[in-house]
Amino acid sequence: MSVVFGTDGVRGRVGVEIDGALAWWVGFGAAQALGPGVLAVARDTRPSGPALAQAVIAGALAGGADVVDLGIAPTPALGWVVRERGYAGGVMVTASHNLAADNGLKVLMRGGEKANAQVRARIEAELARSATPVSGGPRGRCLPAPDLGTWQPCAGLDLHGVHVVFDGANGACHDVGPERLRAAGARVTAIGTGDGARINKDCGATHPDVLAAAAVQHDADVGIAVDGDGDRLAITLRTGRAAVTMDGDAMLWALAEGLGAGNVVIGTIMSNLGLQRGLEAAGVRFVRTAVGDAEVWDGMVANNARFGGEPSGHLMFRGQADDPVGSCGLFTAARVLGIGVDRLRARVAEYRPAIQRHASVRVADAHGVTIGDAGLKPAVAALVAPTADAIAVRGGRVVVRPSGTEPIIRVMVEHEVEREADSGLADLVQLLKGKQL
């Protein structure tokens, strides 16, 4: 089978792109690429998860790895176990924020980091020879799974007297999230509590409107939502009969309070212009990277930044012993809420995000027509440049980029004035559609 294995592995429709044979070969390939040693396997709550996880385990055992089966566990917990136990790596069966009809396979290396290019290439090579039978039975052993009770992403957080609505997205954090928050002293009302057939459906971090409504309905102080595998976060703060939603940019703004001049915060090309301007006014340098947590992490390392993230709610931290590897929704929630609910409300009230408008323009063949080696092909970039420059002169910002998975060009225009954002987006969309790319 020919499969491209990216930094987040492979993801698709169960029974079409994702099946037991693929899972077996990913397990086998991970054992070959990461071994010798122990591989940890975990999954979220999707109905397809148990069978796919067992196929991964069977492949890993055939590849010579010893295996621990963590069962249902968030991706950040898998990364923590791999790092703390010194395992060779791990495989997470998840499609993250996708719905239950999809699933996927994500590989972590020793230390809990996502698979690098060398490991991914080795796994792809094993997948390419999947028509070749592997002789013999299991060469590895199934070992007892460690206790995840010592995974404490909210350690040090004090939420006594705080009422929290927690939306577990019907995913891997549906039980551990409320447990950790109650251990921090919070009164917790839990929603999205474990029906894997409804994972991410009208719930979780991708539906902050549902979280905001629940916070108001239950008269809670705070709402916290993660996605299906627990690496993405949304927060709402209730104020009277309304609730204010914090995306990843607002969280970065809140966390940056008190950073001295010359410090750095890392965002992406999609981060809000208001975040950049607010930080720069406070003397904090804001550095943008390409979209993706791997790019954000590289930017953090290159600029010696303590934290960075994306508007989607993927935030990462570095420099402290307890910092997770990669993005962890519960850890981020603990750091943001550690500011204090009242101060957090005040900090968010000070945030002045620009108005963003988004559109997607479908093209005949994005990978043949619009995408070059480093993004948009020069002809397409030249087409949009005069309009984008005019918007920038008027105080706005434009991002035009190809989708990595579909024949679509994604357009974003932001401006402090709503009509400028609306008209700028309309002009760019009309321009792109008029050329019939």
3-class secondary structure, 398: strand
Buried/exposed code over 296-330 (b: 16+ C-beta within 10 A; e: otherwise): bbebbeeeebbbbbbbbbbbbbeeeeeebbbbbbb
Longest dimension (CA), the chain: 68
Question: What are the tokens at 131?
Answer: 């028509």
Which residues have a catalytic role annotated?
A: 96
What element of type H or E holds 30? helix 20-34
Q: What angle do CA 382, 421, 387 make, to 5 degrees?
A: 20
Residue 3 DSSP label: -
Instruction: Work out the number of other CB atoms within 10 angstroms of the CB of residue 226.
Output: 31
CA distance 155 to 181: 10
Buried/exposed code over 11-34 (b: 16+ C-beta within 10 A; e: otherwise): bbebeeebbbebbbbbbbbbbbbb
* Nearest alpha-carbon partner for 221 in 297, 165, 145, 295: 165
First-to-last alpha carbon distance for the chain, in angstroms, is 31
**Exposed, middle or buried by CB within 10 Å (0-12, 13-18, 19+), for 129?**
exposed
CA distance 219 to 209: 15
CA distance 115 to 326: 12
C-alpha dist (Å) from residue 235 to 103, 221, 339: 26, 11, 13
* Nearest alpha-carbon partner for 306 in 250, 258, 237: 258
CA distance 229 to 376: 31
How much is the CA Rg of the chain, to the nearest whole Å?
A: 22
C-alpha dist (Å) from residue 232 to 52, 217, 229, 332, 376: 23, 23, 8, 9, 28
